[in-house]
Chains A and B, each alone.
Chain A
């Protein structure tokens, strides 16, 4: 390869797509490093504190697409304090200066401000796509800036963000000349929506293929929109609450048959069973259906709609579907790859919820199932062992038994054998979340068998440090380990410190690690940031007052080449 001119090498690298492969290619020799870095167009930064933005952009000056992730995953469940960090502004500022050709920005779990959005909007003339997932810190004013200044914007995708409502006018800020939108998702907005502006925007964007409306969008508005957007592939319906005795309902009923291209349906925030009938005509072509925000749709109505969806690949529902409904999924949805079942009620065992029976049915009926998120009140080892046999192709397996530490209700045993069977059978498993009563034994199995495992989430499990040690010593592809409420302490933390440099991050909360243990870790591994998150105001002055034996409530350990971060709040102490 060294005999080939650079252009040829670069052309060959065009076929090297994945981040990992490109990273590997760049380590071969200096020449390849140079060619690769100059030809790299997409960069993914899994932890915004692992490296500084300037360094990324100095190495890759030609990027047009940047993805950055901020807070640890457990921030989704309110375990990370509000102002912990994950600020997007430094990345936007650096890109504005060093990568003016930026076209796409994707941020997850970061703090984005209106100022940041305005800077973004003004700095990149070719900007095409903004995707914000689980972010916060901005308002509809920031969206107005994006609408105003991003000429040629193709995609604005806001997923599950906390957006402050400063009025509904932001949609009106898209100029009349904006006709380029392909994807618009504002499902997470809570405030009023300017229906007229929305309808006009949709009408002038002939390439619009994905439209996800917020709950505030009424069915009247939806009808008008659907009349102008019959090429939609992906629709989030908005409120979908309508009285079936009205004209509006009849218009809705007549709208859906026109949608020959519709494949994804979601939304249904306030939908009642009779409204759901409106979508029956498109069910037979649906590949993605998300009814997980529609609590008024009970088991029987869910069954009626699922019976029609025989091409479904991805289904998100509430546990009101029941085991009976899951049996229907199993017999109808033979193409199903991903299933997520969310709880309707977390305050006690619901009368309609799902059990191991539902999961068993789906595992035996859906041969292509590879991704699962399942909330239930109970699970048995026998069921998990059978599921493992039926579905050896799981890549993502997340089981949440709502009662922490609940054993197998039939045998009263921990669920070690069940999860053990999963990791033994599913050789390609990349993501695993455990729950129920679990001893160190399950971690022995995971360490031994889960070779491709990249992300492991553990809660209320294990007996001793051995559990965590088994995982750290096995699982050679482990990247993210997050643990809460487990009896793992300093011995486990310090057993295999080199491991942490091969991983993106470690989160431990309500475990047994002490200040002394963390100090030792930080001393041994200078290229890790060992962050202690201490929300207890009484112990703020840790340096003097806390003994090394003090147990730490929350720690976050991650590899970094950027050193301790300079934007940490008072309650975060980097050792």
Chain B
């Protein structure tokens, strides 16, 4: 049983973390092309690997697998995001966003139930988005180039009210 669990944990899928994406039905050999085509059209993103497909030599398949695992180590910068007053934290993958605007929009979406202000309006509503950098200092999000930010950000915190006011003025 334990082995099965571990196997599942290391299984490579494109499903979102925490979801159990359904596996692609392995193509049956007895059905006609029409039925098969219908099945293929409804493919979920996560696929079960069909034996011998795609037709690539083992060497190439192995290097794709290794690369995929390496990539998953390097990309996917998951950082915790906390907000004052929110009962739980969230996690975001900084690699998914191309810049600050997207990140702000995403955070806005994530925390709107806790009445975070608009992406541009966080100053008015008294919130500031801050991050802890590699040195352990808390910095205001948005000062440094995006690439530098994602490589130094360890976690984020949405500060509110009085603490935020001092930080939220931009120069």
Contacts and interface: CB of A to CB of B under 8 A. Distances in A.
A130 B88 CA distance: 66
A510 B32 contact: no
A404 B33 contact: no
A74 interface: yes
A293 interface: yes
Contact of B59 (A160, A375, A400): A160
Nearest to A488: B29
Interface in A423-474: 433, 437-439, 457, 459-464
Q: Report the interface size class on chain B.
A: 20 to 34
Contact of A463 (B33, B50, B63, B68): B33
A461 B55 contact: no
Interface stretch (A38-46, A75-83, A561-569): A75-83
Interface in A403-423: 403-407, 414
Contacts of B55: 76-77, 400, 433, 457, 459
Contacts of B41: 407
Contacts of A292: 60
B57 interface: yes
A342 interface: yes
A485 interface: yes
Contact of A343 (B27, B51, B64): B64
B58 A78 contact: yes
Contacts of B30: 487, 512
B37 A76 contact: no
A266 interface: no
A344 B29 contact: no
A52 interface: no
B57 A76 contact: yes
Contacts of B60: 292, 342
A463 B32 contact: yes
B80 interface: no
Contact of A404 (B50, B56, B59, B61): B50
Given A407-B37, A464-B32, A487-B30, A347 B47 contact: yes
A5 interface: no
B171 interface: no
B103 to A, nearest CB: 19
Interface string A147-163: 00000000000001010
A100 interface: no
A459 B52 CA distance: 11
A292 B59 CA distance: 12
A347 B57 contact: no
A484 B52 contact: yes
Contacts of B29: 485-487, 510-512, 551
Contacts of A463: 32-34
A7 B150 CA distance: 80
Interface residues of A, number: 47
A165 interface: no
B27 A78 contact: no
Interface in B10-64: 12-14, 27, 29-34, 36-37, 39-41, 43, 45, 47, 50-61, 63-64
A346 B54 contact: yes
Nearest to A511: B29
A437 B33 CA distance: 7
A34 to B, nearest CB: 43
The interface centre, meaning the residue of B13, B32, B50, B52 with most chain A CB atoms within 10 A of its CB, is B52
B56 A403 contact: no
A191 interface: no
B56 A462 contact: no
A188 interface: yes
B91 interface: no
B112 interface: no
A295 interface: yes
Given A77-B57, A404-B40, A512-B30, A347 B52 contact: no
Q: Which of B12, B53, B56, B64 has the most A CB atoms < 10 Å from its CB?
A: B53
B139 to A, nearest CB: 29
A406 B40 contact: yes
A293 B64 CA distance: 10
A502 to B, nearest CB: 26
Contacts of B67: 295, 344
A478 to B, nearest CB: 19
Given A403-B43, A510-B29, A348 B14 contact: yes
A345 interface: yes
Contacts of A403: 40, 43
Nearest to A508: B29
Contacts of B39: 405
A470 to B, nearest CB: 15
B37 A405 contact: yes
B54 A343 contact: yes
Contact of B64 (A79, A346, A484, A510): A346
A160 B63 CA distance: 13
A512 B29 CA distance: 7
A74 B47 contact: no
Interface string A287-298: 000001101000
Contacts of B68: 345, 347
Interface of B: 12-14, 27, 29-34, 36-37, 39-41, 43, 45, 47, 50-61, 63-64, 67-68
Interface of A: 74, 76-79, 134, 160, 162, 188, 292-293, 295, 342-348, 375, 400, 402-407, 414, 433, 437-439, 457, 459-464, 484-487, 510-512, 551
19 contacts: A76-B57, A78-B58, A343-B54, A346-B56, A346-B61, A375-B56, A400-B54, A404-B27, A405-B33, A405-B36, A437-B37, A439-B33, A457-B55, A464-B32, A484-B52, A486-B29, A487-B32, A512-B29, A512-B30
The 9 closest A-B pairs by CB, nearest first: A77-B52, A510-B29, A79-B52, A348-B14, A405-B40, A405-B36, A463-B32, A463-B33, A437-B37
